[in-house]
């Protein structure tokens, strides 16, 4: 779970600018997708079903500590969704790119665990962070559970992920290192992420088993995405 500071982010960007480099999302040009899209449902078809919002949250969320609350959780048949930024979650098992040295906000656990009881691996497993339950919204009451399937849409690409961690009660828009990398977003936990343009579609009452199987998430996600198009 990452509490992103815009002040720190701006300082990091300034330092990178001085060095002559910037993260892909800050360069002014969209980065190319890392690979072909997953599944058979296009990003355009999914986005066409979430152009309007029937708000189900009691309030709205911030995308970062210092921003205004502007993001509602919206309801559709068989899913909930929101449109936000993407902060990078590097929590869970220590790996080459996800550890205390690389991530100022690193925590060695995730809200939901692998089938062997160990925390998830943010560097290799695409997962999404949902806000912890609060008076704004209770994800569990909406049919969202750990291991649930999420279609993450960005820059014309669809990446299937699982619900893998919980975050602050008032902030939304966060996913694992692996999710960002697959979507062509700079996955660096300190300086990466996307400032906007990310759509998260969470399929209700879904469950990937085992949670750490990305291929299972893709298979189930593609089937649920096709049902989502038919039912909305």
Q: Encode pLDDT of 159-188 as tens digits.
A: 999 999 999 999 999 999 999 999 999 999
Region 87-111: mean pLDDT is 97
What values do phi and psi take at 200, rounded to 5? -115, 115
How far is it, in rounded angstroms, from Cα 34 to Cα 89?
19
What CA–CA distance (Å, rounded) separates 149 from 208? 7
Closest to 225 in 3D by CA, of 181, 159, 178? 159
Establish if 65 belongs to a structural domain. Answer: yes
Residue 13's pLDDT is: 38
DSSP letters, 79-123, are EEEEEEEEEEE--BS--SSSSTTT-TT--S--SSB-TTSPBPBTT
The tens digit of pLDDT for each residue in 201-232 reads 999 999 999 999 999 999 999 999 999 999 99
Residue 91 has pLDDT above 60, yes or no: yes
pTM, to two decimals:
0.86
Question: What is the number of structural domains in the chain?
Answer: 1
Whether 91 is covered by a domain: the verdict is yes
Give residue 36's pLDDT. Answer: 55
Which of 89, 97, 220, 85 lies closest to 160 in space, CA to CA? 220
pLDDT band at 24 (very low <50, low <70, confident <90, very high): very low
The answer to the question of residue 106 being in a domain is yes
Determine, yes or no, domain membership for 214: yes
Residues contacting 67, CB < 8 A, separation 6+ = 6
Q: What is the domain extent for residue 112? A: 6-231
* Residue 1, domain member (yes or no): no
């Amino acid at each position: 779970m990452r509490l992103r500071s815009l002040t720190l982010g701006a300082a990091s960007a300034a330092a990178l600018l001085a060095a002559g480099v910037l993260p892909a999302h800050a360069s002014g040009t969209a980065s190319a997708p890392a690979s072909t899209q997953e599944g058979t449902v296009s990003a355009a078809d999914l986005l066409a079903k979430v152009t309007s919002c029937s708000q189900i949250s009691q309030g709205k969320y911030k995308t970062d500590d210092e921003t205004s609350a502007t993001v509602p959780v919206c309801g559709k048949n068989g899913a909930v969704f929101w449109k936000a930024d993407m902060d990078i979650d590097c929590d869970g098992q220590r790996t080459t790119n996800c550890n205390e040295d690389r991530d100022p906000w690193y925590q060695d656990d995730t809200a939901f665990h692998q089938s062997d009881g160990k925390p998830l691996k943010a560097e290799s497993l695409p997962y999404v962070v949902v806000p912890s339950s609060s008076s704004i919204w209770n994800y569990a009451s909406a049919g969202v559970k750990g291991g649930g399937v999420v279609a993450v849409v960005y820059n014309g690409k669809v990446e299937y992920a699982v619900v893998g961690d919980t975050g602050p009660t008032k902030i939304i828009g966060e996913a694992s290192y692996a999710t960002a990398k697959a979507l062509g977003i700079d996955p660096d936990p300190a300086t990466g992420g996307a400032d906007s343009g990310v759509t998260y579609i969470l399929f209700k009452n879904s469950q990937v088993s085992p949670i750490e199987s990305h291929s299972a998430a893709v298979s189930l996600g593609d089937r649920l995405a096709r049902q989502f198009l038919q039912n909305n």
